[in-house]
Structure 1
Amino acid sequence: MQEFEAIVNKSGEHGIVVFSLGSMVSEIPEKNAMEIVEALGTIPQMVLWRYTGKAPPNLAENTKLFKWLPQNDLLGMAFITHAVPMVLMPFFGDQMDNAKRMESRGAGVVLNILEMTSKDISVALKTVIYNKKNIQHLSDLHLDRPIPPLDLAVHWVEFVMRHKGAPHLRPAAHDLKWIQYHSIDVIAFLLGVGLLELFISLKCCLYCCRKCCCRSGRMSKKSKSKSQ
Protein backbone atom coordinates (compact mmCIF):
# COMPACT_ATOMS: atom_id res chain seq x y z
CA MET A 1 0.00 0.00 0.00
CA GLN A 2 2.91 2.37 0.58
CA GLU A 3 3.71 2.26 -3.14
CA PHE A 4 0.16 3.28 -4.03
CA GLU A 5 0.09 6.00 -1.37
CA ALA A 6 3.26 7.49 -2.84
CA ILE A 7 1.73 7.54 -6.33
CA VAL A 8 -1.45 9.20 -5.07
CA ASN A 9 0.53 11.85 -3.18
CA LYS A 10 2.58 12.64 -6.30
CA SER A 11 -0.50 12.95 -8.52
CA GLY A 12 -1.12 16.48 -7.26
CA GLU A 13 -4.31 18.42 -7.92
CA HIS A 14 -5.30 16.28 -10.92
CA GLY A 15 -5.69 13.08 -8.91
CA ILE A 16 -5.66 9.56 -10.33
CA VAL A 17 -7.60 7.34 -12.69
CA VAL A 18 -8.06 3.68 -11.79
CA PHE A 19 -8.54 1.40 -14.80
CA SER A 20 -9.81 -2.13 -14.19
CA LEU A 21 -11.80 -4.50 -16.39
CA GLY A 22 -12.54 -6.88 -13.53
CA SER A 23 -11.08 -10.20 -12.49
CA MET A 24 -12.41 -12.08 -15.55
CA VAL A 25 -10.43 -9.97 -18.04
CA SER A 26 -6.69 -10.00 -17.37
CA GLU A 27 -5.40 -8.97 -20.80
CA ILE A 28 -6.74 -7.75 -24.14
CA PRO A 29 -5.46 -7.80 -27.75
CA GLU A 30 -2.39 -5.63 -28.28
CA LYS A 31 -4.15 -3.41 -30.83
CA ASN A 32 -6.90 -2.53 -28.33
CA ALA A 33 -4.37 -2.10 -25.53
CA MET A 34 -2.40 0.38 -27.63
CA GLU A 35 -5.56 2.36 -28.40
CA ILE A 36 -6.34 2.56 -24.67
CA VAL A 37 -2.79 3.56 -23.76
CA GLU A 38 -2.79 6.31 -26.38
CA ALA A 39 -6.01 7.73 -24.93
CA LEU A 40 -4.81 7.48 -21.33
CA GLY A 41 -1.75 9.50 -22.28
CA THR A 42 -3.95 12.49 -23.22
CA ILE A 43 -5.20 13.17 -19.68
CA PRO A 44 -3.22 14.87 -16.91
CA GLN A 45 -4.18 12.34 -14.25
CA MET A 46 -1.92 9.51 -13.11
CA VAL A 47 -3.39 6.23 -14.42
CA LEU A 48 -3.18 2.95 -12.46
CA TRP A 49 -4.15 0.02 -14.71
CA ARG A 50 -4.81 -3.51 -13.50
CA TYR A 51 -3.27 -5.48 -16.37
CA THR A 52 -1.38 -8.78 -16.40
CA GLY A 53 -0.59 -9.08 -20.11
CA LYS A 54 2.40 -7.87 -22.09
CA ALA A 55 2.96 -4.14 -21.63
CA PRO A 56 1.93 -2.14 -24.74
CA PRO A 57 4.93 -0.62 -26.54
CA ASN A 58 3.43 2.89 -26.47
CA LEU A 59 2.87 2.98 -22.70
CA ALA A 60 2.62 6.63 -21.61
CA GLU A 61 4.58 8.09 -18.72
CA ASN A 62 1.41 8.76 -16.72
CA THR A 63 0.29 5.10 -16.92
CA LYS A 64 1.49 2.36 -14.61
CA LEU A 65 0.54 -1.33 -14.88
CA PHE A 66 -0.20 -3.51 -11.84
CA LYS A 67 -1.31 -7.13 -11.49
CA TRP A 68 -3.47 -6.15 -8.51
CA LEU A 69 -5.05 -2.91 -7.34
CA PRO A 70 -6.76 -1.97 -4.04
CA GLN A 71 -9.66 -0.46 -5.96
CA ASN A 72 -11.73 0.82 -3.04
CA ASP A 73 -8.74 2.66 -1.60
CA LEU A 74 -7.65 4.12 -4.91
CA LEU A 75 -11.02 5.43 -6.00
CA GLY A 76 -10.12 8.80 -7.46
CA MET A 77 -11.36 11.20 -10.07
CA ALA A 78 -12.45 8.54 -12.56
CA PHE A 79 -12.85 4.83 -12.11
CA ILE A 80 -13.21 2.61 -15.22
CA THR A 81 -15.07 -0.35 -13.73
CA HIS A 82 -18.11 -0.96 -11.50
CA ALA A 83 -18.36 2.46 -9.79
CA VAL A 84 -19.16 6.07 -10.62
CA PRO A 85 -18.28 8.03 -12.62
CA MET A 86 -17.53 5.34 -15.17
CA VAL A 87 -16.23 4.65 -18.63
CA LEU A 88 -17.95 1.35 -19.34
CA MET A 89 -16.59 -1.32 -21.68
CA PRO A 90 -19.10 -4.21 -21.60
CA PHE A 91 -17.88 -7.60 -22.83
CA PHE A 92 -20.61 -10.23 -22.35
CA GLY A 93 -23.68 -11.33 -20.41
CA ASP A 94 -25.74 -8.62 -18.73
CA GLN A 95 -22.89 -6.10 -18.83
CA MET A 96 -24.29 -4.31 -21.89
CA ASP A 97 -27.71 -3.89 -20.27
CA ASN A 98 -26.19 -2.63 -17.01
CA ALA A 99 -23.88 -0.26 -18.90
CA LYS A 100 -26.77 1.23 -20.88
CA ARG A 101 -28.73 1.74 -17.67
CA MET A 102 -25.84 3.67 -16.13
CA GLU A 103 -25.39 5.75 -19.29
CA SER A 104 -29.09 6.62 -19.42
CA ARG A 105 -28.84 7.98 -15.87
CA GLY A 106 -25.83 10.10 -16.73
CA ALA A 107 -23.50 8.01 -14.57
CA GLY A 108 -21.11 6.94 -17.29
CA VAL A 109 -20.18 6.61 -20.95
CA VAL A 110 -20.41 3.30 -22.84
CA LEU A 111 -17.74 2.28 -25.36
CA ASN A 112 -17.73 -0.62 -27.81
CA ILE A 113 -14.56 -2.57 -27.01
CA LEU A 114 -14.33 -3.84 -30.62
CA GLU A 115 -14.84 -0.52 -32.40
CA MET A 116 -13.51 2.13 -29.99
CA THR A 117 -10.58 4.33 -30.96
CA SER A 118 -8.12 6.24 -28.85
CA LYS A 119 -10.10 9.41 -29.56
CA ASP A 120 -13.34 7.79 -28.32
CA ILE A 121 -11.64 6.70 -25.10
CA SER A 122 -10.05 10.12 -24.57
CA VAL A 123 -13.36 11.93 -25.04
CA ALA A 124 -15.15 9.50 -22.71
CA LEU A 125 -12.50 9.90 -20.01
CA LYS A 126 -12.60 13.68 -20.13
CA THR A 127 -16.40 13.57 -20.04
CA VAL A 128 -16.56 11.59 -16.79
CA ILE A 129 -13.66 13.47 -15.21
CA TYR A 130 -14.81 17.04 -15.88
CA ASN A 131 -18.60 16.72 -16.22
CA LYS A 132 -19.71 15.64 -12.74
CA LYS A 133 -23.10 17.33 -12.50
CA ASN A 134 -25.17 14.16 -12.98
CA ILE A 135 -22.84 12.10 -10.80
CA GLN A 136 -23.13 14.60 -7.96
CA HIS A 137 -26.92 14.59 -8.27
CA LEU A 138 -27.05 10.78 -8.08
CA SER A 139 -24.67 10.83 -5.13
CA ASP A 140 -26.86 13.33 -3.28
CA LEU A 141 -29.91 11.14 -3.86
CA HIS A 142 -28.10 8.07 -2.59
CA LEU A 143 -26.73 9.76 0.52
CA ASP A 144 -29.95 11.56 1.44
CA ARG A 145 -31.25 9.17 4.09
CA PRO A 146 -32.45 9.64 7.70
CA ILE A 147 -29.74 7.42 9.22
CA PRO A 148 -26.17 7.07 7.92
CA PRO A 149 -25.37 3.48 6.82
CA LEU A 150 -22.71 3.00 9.51
CA ASP A 151 -25.07 4.13 12.29
CA LEU A 152 -27.78 1.84 10.92
CA ALA A 153 -25.39 -1.13 10.92
CA VAL A 154 -24.35 -0.38 14.51
CA HIS A 155 -28.00 -0.16 15.54
CA TRP A 156 -28.87 -3.61 14.18
CA VAL A 157 -25.77 -5.21 15.68
CA GLU A 158 -26.71 -3.81 19.09
CA PHE A 159 -30.34 -4.82 18.49
CA VAL A 160 -29.32 -8.46 18.00
CA MET A 161 -27.12 -8.33 21.10
CA ARG A 162 -29.89 -6.82 23.24
CA HIS A 163 -32.41 -9.45 22.19
CA LYS A 164 -30.15 -12.48 22.64
CA GLY A 165 -29.58 -13.20 18.99
CA ALA A 166 -33.00 -11.94 17.84
CA PRO A 167 -34.44 -15.39 17.04
CA HIS A 168 -37.53 -13.77 15.50
CA LEU A 169 -35.26 -12.49 12.72
CA ARG A 170 -33.81 -15.94 12.08
CA PRO A 171 -34.51 -17.10 8.48
CA ALA A 172 -37.15 -19.82 8.24
CA ALA A 173 -34.80 -21.80 6.01
CA HIS A 174 -32.80 -22.79 9.12
CA ASP A 175 -35.84 -24.71 10.41
CA LEU A 176 -36.29 -26.80 7.28
CA LYS A 177 -35.18 -30.42 7.04
CA TRP A 178 -32.27 -31.05 4.73
CA ILE A 179 -34.62 -32.74 2.24
CA GLN A 180 -36.76 -29.61 2.11
CA TYR A 181 -33.81 -27.21 2.21
CA HIS A 182 -32.24 -28.80 -0.88
CA SER A 183 -35.67 -29.28 -2.56
CA ILE A 184 -35.12 -33.05 -2.76
CA ASP A 185 -38.86 -33.65 -2.34
CA VAL A 186 -39.68 -31.28 -5.20
CA ILE A 187 -37.03 -32.81 -7.44
CA ALA A 188 -38.30 -36.32 -6.63
CA PHE A 189 -41.89 -35.30 -7.45
CA LEU A 190 -40.94 -33.71 -10.76
CA LEU A 191 -38.75 -36.69 -11.62
CA GLY A 192 -41.63 -39.04 -10.83
CA VAL A 193 -44.02 -37.05 -13.04
CA GLY A 194 -41.47 -37.07 -15.86
CA LEU A 195 -40.93 -40.82 -15.60
CA LEU A 196 -44.69 -41.40 -15.52
CA GLU A 197 -45.16 -39.34 -18.68
CA LEU A 198 -42.32 -41.24 -20.34
CA PHE A 199 -43.85 -44.57 -19.32
CA ILE A 200 -47.27 -43.58 -20.68
CA SER A 201 -45.72 -42.32 -23.93
CA LEU A 202 -43.83 -45.59 -24.41
CA LYS A 203 -46.96 -47.63 -23.73
CA CYS A 204 -48.90 -45.57 -26.28
CA CYS A 205 -46.15 -46.03 -28.85
CA LEU A 206 -46.05 -49.79 -28.27
CA TYR A 207 -49.85 -49.96 -28.54
CA CYS A 208 -49.81 -48.08 -31.83
CA CYS A 209 -47.02 -50.28 -33.18
CA ARG A 210 -48.96 -53.41 -32.30
CA LYS A 211 -52.06 -52.04 -33.96
CA CYS A 212 -50.12 -51.27 -37.13
CA CYS A 213 -48.52 -54.72 -37.13
CA CYS A 214 -51.90 -56.41 -36.68
CA ARG A 215 -53.43 -54.44 -39.53
CA SER A 216 -50.56 -55.20 -41.86
CA GLY A 217 -50.81 -58.89 -40.92
CA ARG A 218 -54.53 -58.97 -41.66
CA MET A 219 -54.05 -57.22 -44.97
CA SER A 220 -51.38 -59.67 -46.04
CA LYS A 221 -53.63 -62.61 -45.10
CA LYS A 222 -56.52 -61.15 -47.11
CA SER A 223 -54.33 -60.60 -50.13
CA LYS A 224 -53.05 -64.20 -49.94
CA SER A 225 -56.60 -65.60 -49.70
CA LYS A 226 -57.74 -63.57 -52.68
CA SER A 227 -54.81 -64.73 -54.79
CA GLN A 228 -55.63 -68.35 -54.00
Structure 2
Amino acid sequence: MQATNYAETYFEVLYNDNSDPWQYQTRWYEKRKRDMCLAVLPKEHYNNAIELGCGNGVFSALLAPRCHALVSIDGNSQAVQLAKQRLAESAHVNVIQGVIPDELPTAQPIFDLIIISEILYYLSPNDIDIVITWIKQNLAVGGTLLCCHWRYDIDGFAMTGETVHQRLCQAFNKVSNEVEPKQGQHIDTKNSVFTHQSKIIDSDFLLDVWQYSPESVAMQENLV
Protein backbone atom coordinates (compact mmCIF):
# COMPACT_ATOMS: atom_id res chain seq x y z
CA MET A 1 0.00 0.00 0.00
CA GLN A 2 2.93 2.32 0.68
CA ALA A 3 4.14 1.87 -2.90
CA THR A 4 0.66 2.68 -4.21
CA ASN A 5 0.44 5.82 -2.09
CA TYR A 6 3.88 6.90 -3.23
CA ALA A 7 2.92 6.42 -6.89
CA GLU A 8 -0.28 8.44 -6.41
CA THR A 9 1.71 11.29 -4.85
CA TYR A 10 4.25 11.06 -7.67
CA PHE A 11 1.54 11.64 -10.28
CA GLU A 12 -0.13 14.38 -8.28
CA VAL A 13 3.14 16.32 -8.31
CA LEU A 14 3.59 15.73 -12.06
CA TYR A 15 0.10 16.98 -12.94
CA ASN A 16 0.23 19.97 -10.59
CA ASP A 17 -0.32 22.98 -12.88
CA ASN A 18 0.78 20.88 -15.87
CA SER A 19 -1.71 19.35 -18.30
CA ASP A 20 0.96 17.45 -20.27
CA PRO A 21 3.84 16.47 -17.93
CA TRP A 22 5.47 14.09 -20.44
CA GLN A 23 4.88 16.43 -23.39
CA TYR A 24 2.82 13.80 -25.22
CA GLN A 25 1.46 16.46 -27.56
CA THR A 26 4.76 18.06 -28.57
CA ARG A 27 7.57 15.50 -28.45
CA TRP A 28 8.44 13.61 -31.63
CA TYR A 29 9.59 10.73 -29.40
CA GLU A 30 6.04 10.31 -28.08
CA LYS A 31 4.34 10.67 -31.47
CA ARG A 32 6.71 8.16 -33.04
CA LYS A 33 6.07 5.65 -30.24
CA ARG A 34 2.28 6.07 -30.51
CA ASP A 35 2.42 5.59 -34.28
CA MET A 36 4.44 2.40 -33.84
CA CYS A 37 1.96 1.07 -31.28
CA LEU A 38 -0.98 1.72 -33.58
CA ALA A 39 0.84 0.23 -36.58
CA VAL A 40 1.62 -3.12 -34.93
CA LEU A 41 -1.92 -3.83 -33.73
CA PRO A 42 -2.81 -7.01 -35.63
CA LYS A 43 -6.46 -6.06 -36.21
CA GLU A 44 -7.92 -3.01 -37.89
CA HIS A 45 -10.91 -2.78 -35.54
CA TYR A 46 -11.75 -3.97 -32.02
CA ASN A 47 -15.13 -4.36 -30.34
CA ASN A 48 -14.32 -3.75 -26.69
CA ALA A 49 -10.96 -2.23 -25.73
CA ILE A 50 -9.31 -0.89 -22.58
CA GLU A 51 -6.27 1.29 -22.03
CA LEU A 52 -4.66 1.05 -18.59
CA GLY A 53 -2.96 4.27 -17.53
CA CYS A 54 -4.49 6.55 -20.16
CA GLY A 55 -2.95 9.74 -18.75
CA ASN A 56 -4.39 12.84 -20.40
CA GLY A 57 -5.97 10.78 -23.18
CA VAL A 58 -3.70 11.59 -26.13
CA PHE A 59 -3.29 7.95 -27.16
CA SER A 60 -6.92 7.14 -26.33
CA ALA A 61 -8.03 9.76 -28.86
CA LEU A 62 -6.01 8.01 -31.59
CA LEU A 63 -7.15 4.56 -30.53
CA ALA A 64 -10.84 5.45 -30.31
CA PRO A 65 -11.59 5.36 -34.08
CA ARG A 66 -10.44 1.73 -34.17
CA CYS A 67 -12.72 0.61 -31.33
CA HIS A 68 -16.47 0.11 -31.06
CA ALA A 69 -16.15 0.70 -27.30
CA LEU A 70 -13.13 1.89 -25.31
CA VAL A 71 -12.51 2.18 -21.57
CA SER A 72 -9.68 4.53 -20.60
CA ILE A 73 -8.60 4.34 -16.97
CA ASP A 74 -6.10 6.32 -14.92
CA GLY A 75 -5.49 6.74 -11.20
CA ASN A 76 -4.89 10.48 -11.26
CA SER A 77 -7.96 12.72 -11.05
CA GLN A 78 -6.39 15.56 -13.04
CA ALA A 79 -5.36 13.20 -15.84
CA VAL A 80 -8.88 11.74 -15.93
CA GLN A 81 -10.45 15.19 -16.25
CA LEU A 82 -8.07 16.09 -19.09
CA ALA A 83 -8.84 12.82 -20.87
CA LYS A 84 -12.59 13.37 -20.47
CA GLN A 85 -12.25 16.82 -22.02
CA ARG A 86 -10.20 15.47 -24.92
CA LEU A 87 -12.65 12.63 -25.59
CA ALA A 88 -15.87 14.53 -24.86
CA GLU A 89 -17.17 14.06 -28.41
CA SER A 90 -16.40 10.33 -28.47
CA ALA A 91 -19.54 8.87 -26.93
CA HIS A 92 -18.21 5.31 -27.19
CA VAL A 93 -15.23 6.09 -24.91
CA ASN A 94 -15.68 5.77 -21.15
CA VAL A 95 -12.96 7.54 -19.15
CA ILE A 96 -12.84 6.39 -15.54
CA GLN A 97 -10.64 6.92 -12.50
CA GLY A 98 -9.18 3.86 -10.83
CA VAL A 99 -5.92 2.87 -9.19
CA ILE A 100 -4.26 -0.17 -10.76
CA PRO A 101 -4.34 -3.00 -9.76
CA ASP A 102 -6.85 -2.32 -6.96
CA GLU A 103 -9.61 -1.05 -9.25
CA LEU A 104 -9.11 -2.96 -12.48
CA PRO A 105 -12.47 -3.04 -14.30
CA THR A 106 -14.17 -6.05 -15.80
CA ALA A 107 -16.63 -6.03 -18.67
CA GLN A 108 -19.18 -8.21 -20.41
CA PRO A 109 -18.34 -8.99 -23.14
CA ILE A 110 -14.73 -9.15 -22.03
CA PHE A 111 -12.05 -7.06 -23.73
CA ASP A 112 -10.64 -8.02 -27.13
CA LEU A 113 -7.90 -5.37 -26.84
CA ILE A 114 -5.88 -4.49 -23.73
CA ILE A 115 -3.35 -1.65 -23.96
CA ILE A 116 -0.80 -1.22 -21.16
CA SER A 117 1.70 1.55 -21.81
CA GLU A 118 4.19 3.23 -19.46
CA ILE A 119 2.55 2.14 -16.22
CA LEU A 120 3.64 -1.28 -14.96
CA TYR A 121 7.08 -0.16 -13.76
CA TYR A 122 5.31 2.01 -11.17
CA LEU A 123 3.91 -1.17 -9.58
CA SER A 124 5.46 -3.77 -7.27
CA PRO A 125 6.28 -7.22 -8.69
CA ASN A 126 3.29 -8.64 -6.79
CA ASP A 127 0.95 -6.02 -8.27
CA ILE A 128 2.27 -6.77 -11.76
CA ASP A 129 1.39 -10.42 -11.19
CA ILE A 130 -2.14 -9.32 -10.21
CA VAL A 131 -2.40 -7.43 -13.51
CA ILE A 132 -1.16 -10.50 -15.41
CA THR A 133 -3.82 -12.67 -13.77
CA TRP A 134 -6.46 -10.05 -14.61
CA ILE A 135 -5.33 -10.06 -18.27
CA LYS A 136 -5.68 -13.84 -18.49
CA GLN A 137 -9.20 -13.59 -17.09
CA ASN A 138 -10.36 -10.59 -19.12
CA LEU A 139 -8.83 -10.95 -22.61
CA ALA A 140 -11.20 -12.58 -25.08
CA VAL A 141 -10.18 -15.47 -27.30
CA GLY A 142 -8.70 -13.94 -30.45
CA GLY A 143 -7.93 -10.72 -28.57
CA THR A 144 -4.78 -8.59 -28.47
CA LEU A 145 -2.51 -7.50 -25.62
CA LEU A 146 -0.12 -4.60 -26.33
CA CYS A 147 2.48 -3.52 -23.77
CA CYS A 148 4.98 -0.69 -24.23
CA HIS A 149 7.45 0.68 -21.64
CA TRP A 150 10.41 3.06 -21.32
CA ARG A 151 13.69 1.16 -20.88
CA TYR A 152 15.51 3.48 -18.49
CA ASP A 153 15.48 3.60 -14.68
CA ILE A 154 12.85 5.75 -12.99
CA ASP A 155 13.99 7.42 -9.80
CA GLY A 156 12.16 6.03 -6.78
CA PHE A 157 10.82 2.86 -8.45
CA ALA A 158 12.39 -0.60 -8.40
CA MET A 159 10.97 -1.95 -11.67
CA THR A 160 12.03 -0.90 -15.18
CA GLY A 161 10.68 -1.57 -18.64
CA GLU A 162 13.26 -4.36 -18.95
CA THR A 163 12.14 -6.18 -15.80
CA VAL A 164 8.47 -5.58 -16.58
CA HIS A 165 8.69 -7.10 -20.06
CA GLN A 166 10.74 -10.01 -18.79
CA ARG A 167 7.88 -10.76 -16.42
CA LEU A 168 5.30 -10.39 -19.21
CA CYS A 169 7.23 -12.68 -21.53
CA GLN A 170 7.48 -15.33 -18.80
CA ALA A 171 3.71 -15.14 -18.39
CA PHE A 172 2.57 -15.05 -22.01
CA ASN A 173 5.27 -16.67 -24.17
CA LYS A 174 3.80 -20.10 -23.57
CA VAL A 175 0.55 -22.00 -23.93
CA SER A 176 -1.74 -20.86 -21.13
CA ASN A 177 -3.91 -23.45 -19.43
CA GLU A 178 -4.84 -21.01 -16.68
CA VAL A 179 -7.54 -19.03 -18.47
CA GLU A 180 -10.98 -19.82 -17.15
CA PRO A 181 -13.94 -18.93 -19.38
CA LYS A 182 -16.30 -16.21 -18.26
CA GLN A 183 -19.94 -17.19 -17.88
CA GLY A 184 -21.39 -17.81 -21.32
CA GLN A 185 -18.01 -17.66 -23.10
CA HIS A 186 -16.93 -20.64 -25.17
CA ILE A 187 -13.20 -21.35 -25.14
CA ASP A 188 -11.93 -22.98 -28.32
CA THR A 189 -9.08 -25.17 -27.08
CA LYS A 190 -7.29 -24.86 -30.44
CA ASN A 191 -7.06 -21.10 -29.90
CA SER A 192 -6.30 -21.03 -26.17
CA VAL A 193 -2.70 -19.96 -26.62
CA PHE A 194 -0.94 -16.63 -26.28
CA THR A 195 1.10 -16.05 -29.43
CA HIS A 196 3.90 -13.48 -29.42
CA GLN A 197 2.77 -11.51 -32.46
CA SER A 198 5.29 -8.64 -32.46
CA LYS A 199 8.38 -7.56 -30.54
CA ILE A 200 10.15 -4.24 -31.06
CA ILE A 201 13.35 -3.55 -29.15
CA ASP A 202 13.90 0.16 -29.59
CA SER A 203 16.87 1.93 -28.04
CA ASP A 204 14.46 3.74 -25.72
CA PHE A 205 11.43 1.48 -25.24
CA LEU A 206 10.17 -2.09 -25.48
CA LEU A 207 7.00 -2.97 -27.38
CA ASP A 208 5.42 -6.43 -27.22
CA VAL A 209 2.15 -7.65 -28.71
CA TRP A 210 0.46 -10.95 -27.92
CA GLN A 211 -2.59 -12.49 -29.55
CA TYR A 212 -4.81 -14.88 -27.62
CA SER A 213 -4.82 -17.02 -30.74
CA PRO A 214 -2.25 -19.01 -32.76
CA GLU A 215 -3.12 -17.08 -35.94
CA SER A 216 -0.88 -14.37 -37.34
CA VAL A 217 -2.24 -11.48 -39.42
CA ALA A 218 -1.39 -13.36 -42.63
CA MET A 219 -3.15 -16.45 -41.31
CA GLN A 220 -6.25 -14.42 -40.40
CA GLU A 221 -6.45 -13.22 -44.01
CA ASN A 222 -5.77 -16.70 -45.49
CA LEU A 223 -2.45 -15.68 -47.01
CA VAL A 224 -0.69 -18.73 -45.55
Shared fold (TM-score, shorter chain, > 0.5)? no
Q: Which has the higher helix share?
A: 1
Where relative contact order (Cα < 8 A, 6+ residues apart) is larger, the structure is 2
Greater C-alpha radius of gyration: 1
Q: Report the TM-score when normalising by structure 1.
A: 0.30
Q: TM-score, normalised by structure 2?
A: 0.30
